[in-house]
Each structure stands twice: as C-alpha cells, then as structure tokens.
Amino acid sequence: MGYASATVPSASQWGSPIASKRALLIHGLNSSSHTFHRVASMLAAKGYLVVAPNLLGHALRMSGVDFQVQTLADDLLPYLQAAEYDIVIGHSMGGAVVLSLLKYLPKTRPTSVVLVDSSVELTADQMAVRRANDAGVKPNLTVEYYMASNPLWTREDAVWRSLGIQISRATNYDDHMDGNVPWSFSHLFADRPAAAALTVLIADPRSNGVSKLETIAKFRDVRAVIVPNTSHWIQYEFPEVIVEEALRNVEG
C-alpha cells in the first residue's frame, strides 16, 4: 500500500521513494522531524526511504484532543497502515511514542526498534525535579548559544534545535508532563512483537541524559547501550552509533 492510500501527518523524507527498505524516525518534545537530519541522511545513503513525521503540537501542527503520548502515537498510525518499516527510531518522548506503537508492528517481519535516550519511567518526585530544572531554561535560545554549549554539534544541528522549539507550542512541556501522569511506559515493552529487536541507547551518565540503565536493565529482552561522552542529543553528537545499532538488528 502506498502513502497515497492513507491520510498521513506532515513529515520530512530522505532517500528514494521506491527504496525497498524503510525507516520511521520519531522526534521528541519541542523538536521536529529534522532533529534526525544526520541519522536520516546516513540511512538514506544505505538505501533506505526515511520518513520522519512531525508530532501533534510540533512544527506548526495543531495539538490533538489531549496531550497523552498514546494520542501522539495514534496520530501516526496512518504511516504503519500505509507501509511496513524495517527500522523504527524514537528520541526522548518520541521513544515513548514508539513504545505505544509496538503493538501495531508486524508480528513476523523483523523490525529494528531503537529508543534514543528515552525516559520510560519517572516518579512524581523525579517529575518535580525535572520541572524545577527546566523552569530555569530560557526560551528561544540562539543558534550561537547551542553551538557554544555543545561543541560536538554542527551549525545545522543548532539551527534545527532552535527552530524546533520556536515552531512548537509554547506550553508543550507543561501540557505533556501534565497529560501523562504517572510518566510510566516501561510496561509497553511487553507489546514488542517476537520478530522485533529493541535497543535503548543511554546518554553518558555524567551528562544530562534521561534514560537510566537501572530501569532498562530490568527487561531481559531489551538491549541497553550506554554511549560514552554523549548528552541527551545522541543524534547530533554520534549519529553513526544510532545507525549502527539500528542496522545490526536487521542487516547483521
């Protein structure tokens, strides 16, 4: 079935439309499809058609009926109805969206699923701490600020990060935190089809990452990989690690 057969949300696309291999990349909170521009380009160079949708309330899209992660996931169902994907990747909150879509993946077709520094469990105290920390972050930070603060980023990375915030809803952070209490998605690991391999990439514990090894390690069939010297933004700093992990599950 082609994309013309279903109504799909806005998205960015890389690679040939007639490619036999497909990847679906899902961005996080207050970001956009272009957060994956380097990962997508690498996968396209390896023969994949890469599709990266923009979530509800992001990239100038209207918000959904509520701010639950499942609502964000349901909005993307037309993509899974229109095609099957060899690779599915989600960053940050996009990882929770991916977990909410696991039950819709093919039961027998091998699928490589990669979560990129995604928080799957937060206690009420941890949510309060995150809110307090994020309350001090200034909105509309400049490209120059991001480049100075993140020496591994390219200027294009910084541009897309800054733009992603500017074209998202101003109240997205509070709305999605309030709309998903408790912040609990690890139970969705059980929805992984037997044919799907699931990997969680974890930022260097010394950085400001959100995925915690002690949470992921509880799940026997989930591969956990700490990526040294990275922050939460692994897709900007070491995109090749994401690509390597995604490919190892489908191309050996």
Nearest Cα to Cα of residue 120 among 6, 217, 245, 234: 217
Residue 226: CB atoms within 10 A of its CB come to: 15
Among 127-131, 134-138, 208-212, 243-247, the range with the most confident prediction by mean pLDDT is 243-247
Angle between helices 37-45 and 239-248 (to 10 degrees): 50
CB 116 within 8 A of CB 89: yes
pLDDT digits (tens, 9 = 90+) for 158-217: 999 999 999 999 899 899 999 999 999 999 999 999 999 999 999 999 997 899 999 999
pLDDT digits (tens, 9 = 90+) for 77-109: 999 999 999 999 999 999 999 999 999 999 999
Residue with tokens 């057969």: 5
Q: How confident is the model at residue 3 (pLDDT cuts 50, 70, 90)?
A: very low
3-state helix, strand, coil in the chain (%, to 5): 40, 20, 40
- Higher-confidence residue of 147 and 127: namely 147
Nearest Cα to Cα of residue 79 among 26, 119, 118, 29: 26
Round to whole Å and give the CA distance between 128 and 219: 26
pLDDT at 187: 96
Nearest Cα to Cα of residue 114 among 209, 252, 248, 251: 248
pLDDT exceeds 50 at position 2: no
